[in-house]
Amino acid sequence: MAAPRGGPFSASLPELYERHLVEPLFRPFAAALLDRAGLASGDRLLDVACGTGIVARLAREALGGRVRIVGVDASPGMLGVARTVAPAIEWREGDAARLPLRDDERFELVACHQGLQFFADRASAIREMRRAVAPGGRLAIGTWRPIEETPLMSDLQRVAERHLGPIADQRHSLGDAGALESLLADGGLRAIQIETVTRTVRLRSGADVFARLNATAVVGMSAAARTMRDEQRAQIVGAVAADSIQALQPYLAGGDLVFEIGSNMAIARA
């Protein structure tokens, strides 16, 4: 869905995601996940639910042509941005529960950074990712910690719920490290190691852009929005975004939005 025309929201949502969120929010955690996964020269990397491709791009920055990289995502819009930003990487459209791989295609590292919590069938996705891991290879998973551990996100959820009623924020729906470990173990993974990584995020685009992007996300995840027409949904997004700006004031420092957020980092072997 395209954002309204004019001003900072004239680009598509994947473009806004790449422009405003990837570098300050996603890149530090993607780098931490790759560090723990131990990607090495000669490895093959599969980046599942790659979005605009930050994990794949970091791997290429580190190892260049010494690693073969494939990125998979279900969103044509996200992949369109990925192909523009990093045309040398192989990008494929596909479902995590039915990965678009050849029967004999295997990877030393399969990564899924902030994607697993969105899958309709997580167990099938884990089994499919395990299938893609080469003998002796690793699976690396990143999922945001529970929303209660991030005051900024909790504050914004309360704002949105005044307009929409209760919301289950999928972004934080796999924050329980125990639940993540059980999911991996049930999928046949072993030697599972999970740690919490916390970073301070500084968004230089400030409150307005983040309020709008977050409002778009939470409205899209709400049960109430499923029965709305596009015009009504756009009005609710605008109202939630406007109210969110006030809630973000305590997190502003010199015009930047500054907050801490944590992620589970899981490394397992097939």
pLDDT in tens, the chain (270 residues): 333 334 555 579 999 999 999 999 999 999 999 999 999 999 999 999 999 999 999 999 999 989 999 999 999 999 999 999 999 999 999 999 999 999 999 999 999 999 999 999 999 999 999 999 999 999 999 999 999 999 999 999 999 999 999 999 999 999 999 999 999 999 999 999 999 999 999 999 999 999 999 999 999 999 999 899 999 999 999 999 999 999 999 999 999 999 999 999 999 998
pLDDT for the residue numbered 8: 53
Sort strands 107-113 and 44-48 into parallel, antiparallel or unpaired: parallel
pLDDT for the residue numbered 169: 97
pLDDT for the residue numbered 6: 42
- Torsion of the alpha carbons at 121, 126, 128 and 131, rounded to the nearest 10: -170
pLDDT for the residue numbered 4: 36
pLDDT for the residue numbered 236: 97
Characterize 141-153 residue by residue with b for buried, 16 or more Cβ atoms within 10 angstroms of its Cβ, and e for exposed.
Answer: bbbbbbbebbebb
Looking at CATH, the fold of the domain delimited by 14-148+168-204+259-269 is given as Rossmann fold (3.40.50)
pTM of the entire predicted model: 0.93
